[in-house]
Chain A
Amino acid sequence: MIEVVNKPYSYSFKSYASKNKNILCLSGDLTSSCEVDIFRDEYPKQFISMGMAEQNMMSFAGGLAMSGFVPFIHTFGVFAYRRPYDQLLASIAYPCRKVRIMGFLPGITTPAGMTHQAIEDISIFRTIPNMTVIETGDASEVESICEEVDKIEGPVYCRILRGSVPRLFNTPLKIGDIRILNRGNDIMLVTTGICTEEALRARAAIASAGISILHVHIHTLKPFEEKKILDLISNVKFGVITMENHLVNGGLGTIISEIISKHGLSKKLIKLGLNDTFAHGGSKQYLAKYYGFDAYALINSIEDFIGQKLNINDKDLETARIEDVHSLSKAEAL
């Protein structure tokens, strides 16, 4: 049974920022939704309420950085780039300012539909010069992200998980590292964010079907340490499957395809994720299934690779962790 951690961002941000007085916590009217309400109440001098005005928030954060502070911007991922893209580039990215953008509700982790679901954020942020892009996939990564990204002398965009977050790893996030979760030589599986937990549900069933999977979890999407996975890709028999809580274009799948083509590797690639489509409102389990990037989709992709059925059914998969919509760990607002 996977350990589930309650609001890891809330206590880890508080612990880090309270010890570093040059950090300012900015919130775009999403303070409890981004789990910084306790920090606001305990450290009001380090908190700035920016209201619903993201264009100003981005340039204002640039100005704070110009006066020697390190702003941590808290908002939903979508609101950090869709409306204020110009300000993001001119006030934060171009001048390479030490601004940390904490984007909550990545991909389909919200039932609030298109306006709230950041499904193209990685593709956008990774093409912005000077930007570092990190995606958290478990509680240990959420717990360590503030301290780790604050070492970067430039802007950072992070996908943050909130509420009940599983603990999958026992080591902190180190920028540029990859996590090899399983060694194998038939198929390489590369996952990010919540897709790592989903992929783990199928691992035992796939192994008992006799397929050996090399499973790698990625948190640092930019800069991407391609050297670390180059040999791994080369050495698997059938090919690579990527699984991401994002459009299949522009994110992890595209990064891996760029590496394969750059190095002339002769490997097939199956990209699981949102396939050139917007999503709608619903639970994360429902949406991952509906749009084809859940554990079943993974099994189907493996079957495509090896050209035979694995005969894995529901009871062979580990139970999906269902979050209670009204649990105490759920932030109060969508």
Chain B
Amino acid sequence: MKNKLNSEDIALGIRRRVFEHCIKNNGAYLSQACSSAEQLAWLYNEALNLGDSILPSVPEKFKGVPNINNKSYKTGAGYNGPIGSEYDRLIFAPAHYALVAYATLIEVGRMSPDALSMFNKDGSSVEIIGAEHSPGMEMHNGTLGIGLSTAAGIAYGRKLKNEKGQTCVFMSDGELQEGQIWEALQVSVYYNLDNLWAIVDVNEQQVDGAMSDVLDIGNIHKKINSFGAKCIEIDGHDINAMRQAKNENHIGKPLIILARTSPYKGMKYLKTRFPRLHYVRFKSEEEREKMNNEISKELGISPIQY
């Protein structure tokens, strides 16, 4: 399953696919694809030890929420392969990046491109905010800040069982405003959870705009270090830097990689929307057309037909 393509090509494929969806559907979480494409491409294509997908290439419809009587219930984690002691486990914390996650699953061959036609449709499991049953997800993360704690609990349990596999969290920097993140860091450091690591998409954006204007949280590198975790800051569009960061020694500590990114990487024209980048919905047909023409050029594709 690994390395049929190189991660840079996968990242480009993710951007193109999310962009196409955005133009066709008159809106999407587009800037998240710009900032995180390399990270997600690298996670699925290189960094994580995952088995083959065990779920259908075209996702099944929504089959009810978890309940002791709902025997057919499955989370979307099966797209990341089976749960097994040797495998890594991915917790996808910012559920608003769901479309980018789905695009990644398609680009790495774990899901059919047809899955995106089910996106945000009634009765579908391919939800706009990733649910537990959505492809690639294992838990609801629509409430931001709970992913790292959950992953810490999984990592603690896996240590008790002497499992080889690691637990990884894909995070975003906005959620560092939540106090729970720092509680999770405390406990992960106290219990020496070195089988836990995270990569944080530091795009410096949140719903209301730039984090520096909404609630600046200062030097997060310094803060995470002072909490006792191993923290490494890299260019989040440089896959070589990710490889090196992951290889850093972090015995006895969780590893937190801060991936500094641009919310318009690969789509410079998106900058015209700043500071409202959280969800891109076109204000007019003119804007849609202009963005289609400008960004498709940057992505090396023909304008999207819609």
Contacts and interface: CB of A to CB of B under 8 A. Distances in A.
Interface string A44-86: 0100101101011011111111111100000000000000001
A60 B184 contact: yes
A310 interface: no
B150 A60 contact: yes
Interface stretch (A4-12, A87-95, A170-178, A263-271): A87-95
A226 interface: no
B67 interface: yes
B188 to A, nearest CB: 9
A51 B187 contact: yes
Interface in A132-165: 152-154
B186 A63 contact: no
B88 interface: no
Contacts of A91: 139, 146, 149-150
A56 B139 contact: no
A130 interface: yes
B183 A66 contact: no
Given A56-B180, A96-B67, A69 B146 contact: no
**Residue from the set A51, A68, A129 with the largest chain B CB neighbour count within 10 Å:** A68
Contacts of B145: 55
Given A63-B153, A87-B149, A90-B146, A56 B183 contact: yes
Given A62-B139, A67-B161, A87-B180, A56 B187 contact: yes
Contacts of A55: 145, 149, 179-180, 183
B123 interface: no
B154 to A, nearest CB: 4
A6 to B, nearest CB: 32
B140 interface: yes
A48 B141 CA distance: 24
A129 B183 CA distance: 27
B146 A130 contact: no
Nearest to A67: B157
B138 interface: yes
Interface in B175-220: 179-180, 183-184, 186-187, 190-191
Contacts of B179: 55
A152 B153 CA distance: 21
B127 interface: no
B79 interface: no
17 contacts: A48-B191, A51-B186, A51-B190, A55-B180, A56-B184, A59-B150, A60-B150, A61-B153, A63-B150, A64-B153, A66-B157, A67-B153, A67-B157, A87-B180, A90-B141, A94-B65, A154-B67
